[in-house]
């Protein structure tokens, strides 16, 4: 296994003692997590355990109430000035794609570079086509999202994020809304991205992907990080009872 070899230990995301509440509901409890540049992290856990909430706190789609979240050297808090800059450097792929339905695939991809990074149209077009080729759908550039299959839409969403040249990519169950035969094409794209050295945090139940790609697997339950380990150790020798139970449920099929 060479994938953990020459990693510079330099955190790009660092979470300390972070707590998140929805009203009275304690959604995340004392989260501590450091993610190094180039690291690939898979987060798993039962439904409602706070996986989505955790990664949504990383680009402040959700606010945390105490502790600190530091992304790329910038502390995230309510009155920060440059959240848009942080967000533009953190790509996010959603379960339901969230493509812009009134814009073509190409326009979806050029929007970010042109409107946020002020890249001239010609150059934005080049960037967009480069990443659409990378996710293997350059021929769909002029179609509208609704004309594509789920797998294709999710790959467009990945390309759209990549066009911003992000430092980290966040994935929130990117394959959960897809028909089974389309899961593979999206996972392949993500594996490819991992091999290129992208820092990735992926919420998924695809344990095969976790084994193959992850540097670390994190198991969450009831808003807490229960266990975090390298994939081999995680799958072959889970420490906590809850992890064992969860793995027995997801690995049966």
Partner 1 sequence: MIQDTVTEDLLLRQPKFIAYLFATVLVCFLIFDPSQSIIGHLLEPALGEPDKSGLYGRFVTSFMLAVLMVLNLLAISLIPNFRLQVISVWIELLILFLSFFYSFDLSFEFIRSKIWFMVTQGIFTTLYVSAISIVIASFIAIIGAVAKMSSNGFAYAIASFYTSFFRGLPLLMQVYLIYLGFPQIGYVIDAVPAGIIALSLCYGAYMTEIFRAGIMSIDAGQWEGSRALGFKFSLIMRKIILPQSIPLIIPPTGNQFIAMLKDSSLVSVIGVWELMFLARTLGNKTFNHMEMLITAAMLYWMMTMVLELIQSRIERKYQKRQSR
Ligand X SMILES: Nc1ncnc2c1ncn2[C@@H]1O[C@H](COP(=O)(O)OP(=O)(O)OP(=O)(O)O)[C@@H](O)[C@H]1O
Binding footprint of partner 1 on the chain (CB under 8 A): 59, 61, 84-92, 94, 96, 98-102, 111-112, 115-116, 144, 146-147, 160-161, 164
Euclidean distance between CA atoms 53 and 20, whole angstroms: 8
When CB distances are held under 5 to 8 angstroms depending on the partner's kind, the choice from ligand X, Mg ion, partner 1, none that residue 111 binds is partner 1
CB nearer to ligand X: give 19 or 104: 19
When CB distances are held under 5 to 8 angstroms depending on the partner's kind, the choice from ligand X, partner 1, Mg ion, none that residue 236 binds is none
What is the chain's Cα-based Rg?
18
- Residue 160: which residues within 8 A CB-CB, separation 6 or more? 99, 108, 109, 111, 112, 131
Q: How far is the CB of 86 from partner 1 (least distance, A)?
A: 8
Residue 51 touches ligand X, criterion: CB under 6 A: yes
Euclidean distance between CA atoms 174 and 204, whole angstroms: 7
What is the DSSP secondary structure assignment for residue 230, as one 8-state letter? Answer: -
User: Which residue from 5, 6, 47, 237 is in contact with ligand X, where contact means CB under 6 A?
Assistant: 47
Residue 52 touches Mg ion, criterion: CB under 5 A: yes
User: Which residue from 18, 31, 39, 52 is in contact with ligand X, where contact means CB under 6 A?
Assistant: 52
What is the DSSP secondary structure assignment for residue 94, as one 8-state letter? Answer: -
- Strand 11-22 to 199-203 pairing: unpaired
Residue 175 touches ligand X, criterion: CB under 6 A: no
Euclidean distance between CA atoms 82 and 52, whole angstroms: 23
Binding-site ranges for ligand X (CB under 6 A) = 22, 25, 27, 45, 47-53
Binding-site ranges for Mg ion (CB under 5 A) = 52
């Amino acid at each position: 296994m060479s994938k953990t070899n020459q990693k510079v230990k330099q955190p790009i995301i660092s979470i300390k003692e972070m707590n998140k509440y929805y009203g009275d509901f304690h959604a995340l409890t004392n989260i501590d997590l450091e993610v190094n540049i180039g690291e690939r992290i898979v987060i798993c856990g039962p439904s409602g355990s706070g996986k989505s909430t955790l990664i949504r706190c990383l680009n402040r789609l959700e606010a945390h109430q105490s502790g600190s979240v530091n992304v790329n050297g910038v502390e995230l808090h309510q009155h920060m000035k440059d959240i848009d800059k942080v967000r533009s450097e953190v790509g996010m792929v959603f379960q339901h794609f969230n493509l812009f339905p009134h814009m073509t695939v190409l326009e979806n991809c050029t929007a970010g570079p042109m409107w946020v990074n002020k890249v001239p149209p010609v150059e934005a077009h080049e960037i967009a086509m480069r990443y659409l080729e990378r996710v293997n759908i350059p021929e769909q550039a002029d179609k509208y999202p609704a004309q594509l299959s789920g797998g294709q839409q999710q790959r467009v969403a990945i390309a759209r994020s990549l066009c911003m040249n992000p430092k980290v990519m966040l994935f929130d169950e990117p394959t959960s809304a897809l028909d089974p035969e389309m899961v593979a094409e999206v996972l392949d794209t993500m594996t490819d991205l991992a091999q290129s050295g992208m820092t990735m945090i992926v919420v998924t139940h695809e344990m095969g992907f976790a084994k193959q790609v992850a540097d670390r697997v994190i198991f969450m339950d009831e808003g807490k990080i229960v266990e975090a380990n390298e994939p081999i150790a995680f799958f072959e020798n889970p420490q906590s009872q809850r992890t064992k139970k969860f793995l027995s449920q997801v690995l049966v099929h």
